Amino acid sequence: MKSLPIETPFIWPDVRRLAGCSGPAPDFDALLAESDLVLCVVHGVTDVGVGRLKKILANEPTASQSGNGKPSSPSTEKKVRLIVTVYPTCPTTSDVLLALLQLQTSHASLEVRIVTCELWSGPENTVACYKANDSVPTVLFGSSASFEDVSDEPNHLTLAFSPEPILAAEWQKWFDVKWLKAARLTEQRAIIPALVIPEGTVEAAQKWAAYEQLCVDEQDGEELVKVTVDPVTGEVTAIAADGTPVTTVSTDYKLPKASPVYRKLAQLLDMGHLVSVDKTTRLAPFEVPVKPKWFGLETLKQIGSVKRQVSYRISALTEDELKQLENRRKKTGELLHLFSFSLADSQWWMPKSAEELFRQENSRVNTEAAGILSKLIAGDLNKFMDGRRKAVGEDANRMYRDLFPDKKLSDDALDEIMDTLKKRFEGAQQRSFLPDLSFTRISLPQPQNDTWKSQLGSSLHLLISIVRYPRKACRNGRYFSQGMSAKPRDILKAMNVLNDPFVEAFDRFEAQERAEKELEEVDSIEAADHTAEEKCLKLFELLGHKIAANADQAMGDAEGHDS
């Protein structure tokens, strides 16, 4: 069975496995290997868990392959905090705890603590994997949320999901309490009593076997139901012995269902963030507004239905100097356009894989702008402003004499103008030229049938933008990413969130013709009289994602690129 990277949300065993069909097996080893921080509470560890833990601490590549066909890259600075829950007759032996103690001694990045519970206490297996300290973890909760081999027994259940930040923060508090109250693993505490569950009587075993048979046999008056699971979609159906359909619980209560397209779009949105400019951090322009009253005019004058509004702007910089600084101050829009996809009008979605390149380009622009400003001011702002006062005064007086030929702008007005201009330069010296960005996690709404609610409108817009991106880049040729320090190939790789086959053909001779043809196809899909879901399906098919024919492979493609 092919193992896939953890794609949240995920339930194990997969419903198809429960029905005896082939289905994806989650690659927990790859998830553990790629994580910088692993926090876990495990109910009864065995030597299998110790072996797996030893492997990931040694930074050994996992034997399984990730969706992009390359071995998973292990984290080189991994930290593991493990709470082992032990109980009477548990499978954790002294040998296991001593092996954990030795592993803890050999690896400073591992810390193990012990808690005890009653024999029949419910397991609380939880593993939280953080790819970075400031990232939202992937949380596994349930039977297989441990370092043991995953089980597809029908009575097991494991949930894998990326919690909302609030839920993640609350779980961290829960773990903190558990960790602080747990006992450190020492040599003395590693000696656990070797207890076994006492055997019952033969009569008790026979009674239990009879009860188990009673639960699985067809009983008089009960209807035999045949359950079928679609191997592609995972949808559950059932029929009675006479061939009539049997409704499921979810059908009875009209619970919303997520189609393969909906699921794929939800996974896509989880690969990035809605980004917006934090206007409170925006640097003010170097060209400042001048109060009309300084020129003897009213800002706004109205006579009847006629309005006259007067505004003036002035700068202490030459036109060329102003252009150099303003071009860089306004660079955020250009960077967002290059490193984000359009989610809706004036809304941008940036993939996580592009954040580092964006940061590098953002830093480069800030450095360039700071260098230009530093060269202009030459270390003394007061001296610089004194040197520009004469030019500013002459320009302001020429404008003033255009209204009042025989008068001159007052020194007080000129002082106020220079003071305002100076504050702009002081702000530029103290702050970043480019504003900060706000990153907001977004998700699809619960599937509903309300006609006035757009379910997939923004996702369709995003998907169209993603498909068009490399093809428009090919059309733009050498103008694509012009002025950036990042190489076009690196940008395309970072933006290739859906493993688009066109990216591999980007530099080929026939790419231009192919780009034009596929852009026309995208336009045709967008204009077609189909539902948003049908259009999304067509776009995924254009990218080679065979959702309808092979859902398992389609799910693997979404995160199959090398980010």
Beta bridge partners of 138: 129
Residue 479: C-alpha distances to residues 159, 226, 294, 472, 476 (Å): 47, 61, 46, 11, 5
Quickly state the pLDDT bin for 404 (edges 50, 70, 90).
Answer: confident
What CA–CA distance (Å, rounded) separates 237 from 227?
6
Structure tokens at 297: 């005019």
Average pLDDT on 52-63 reads: 74
Structure tokens at 230: 């679609």
Which phi and psi (to 5°) does residue 457 adopt? Answer: -60, -50
For domain 3-184, which architecture applies? Answer: 2-Layer Sandwich (3.30)
Average pLDDT on 533-549 reads: 86
- State the pLDDT at residue 194: 86
Using DSSP, state whether 454 is helix, strand or coil: coil
Quickly state the pLDDT bin for 495 (edges 50, 70, 90).
Answer: very high
In which residue ranges of the chain is CATH 3.30.870.10 found? 3-184
What CA–CA distance (Å, rounded) separates 431 from 425?
10
Instruction: Quick: pLDDT tens for 424-459.
Output: 999 999 989 999 999 998 888 766 666 656 678 899
SS (H, E, C) 206-221: HHHHHHHHHHHCCCCC
Q: Report if pTM > 0.85.
A: no
Instruction: Quick: pLDDT tens for 470-493.
Output: 999 999 988 999 999 999 999 999
What CA–CA distance (Å, rounded) separates 437 from 282?
10
Pick from 208, 210, 211, 212: which is nearest to 200 by CA?
208
* pLDDT higher than 70, residue 561: no
- State the pLDDT at residue 166: 73
Task: Please identify which residue in the block is written with the tokens 């660079």.
Answer: 331
Q: Whole-number mean pLDDT of the chain? A: 83
Task: Please identify which residue in the block is written with the tokens 């995953």.
Answer: 150
* pLDDT higher than 60, residue 553: no
Instruction: Quick: pLDDT tens for 238-263.
Output: 888 778 888 776 777 676 677 888 88
- State the pLDDT at residue 218: 54
**Residue 462's CB: how many other CB atoms inside 10 A?**
26
- State the pLDDT at residue 23: 65
Start-to-end Cα distance in the chain: 25
With 0-12 / 13-18 / 19 or more C-beta atoms within 10 angstroms meaning exposed / middle / buried, residue 88 is: middle
* pLDDT higher than 90, residue 525: yes
Higher model confidence: residue 313 or residue 74? 313
Structure tokens at 38: 């692993």
- Cβ atoms of 96 and 46 within 8 Å: the answer is yes
Provide the residue count of the chain: 563
- Cβ atoms of 281 and 436 within 8 Å: the answer is yes
- State the pLDDT at residue 249: 67
Distance from chain centroid for Cα 215: 45
Task: Please identify which residue in the block is written with the tokens 């250009």.
Answer: 334
- Cβ atoms of 440 and 269 within 8 Å: the answer is no
**Residue 458's CB: how many other CB atoms inside 10 A?**
21
* pLDDT higher than 80, residue 214: no
Q: What percent of the chain has pLDDT over 70?
A: 86
Element (H, E) at 533: helix 532-542
- State the pLDDT at residue 6: 54
| Bond from prior residue into 435 cis (ω within 30 degrees of 0) | no
Pick from 23, 446, 72, 547: which is nearest to 12 by CA?
23
Q: Is 226 left (phi over 0), alpha (psi -120 to 50) or beta?
A: beta
| Bond from prior residue into 61 cis (ω within 30 degrees of 0) | no
Pick from 309, 361, 356: which is nearest to 483 by CA?
361
**Side-by-side strand order, sheet with 347-351:** 341-344, 347-351, 272-277, 437-440
Structure tokens at 217: 């046999």
* pLDDT higher than 90, residue 413: no
- State the pLDDT at residue 204: 86
Q: What angle do CA 165, 171, 173 make, to 5 degrees?
A: 105
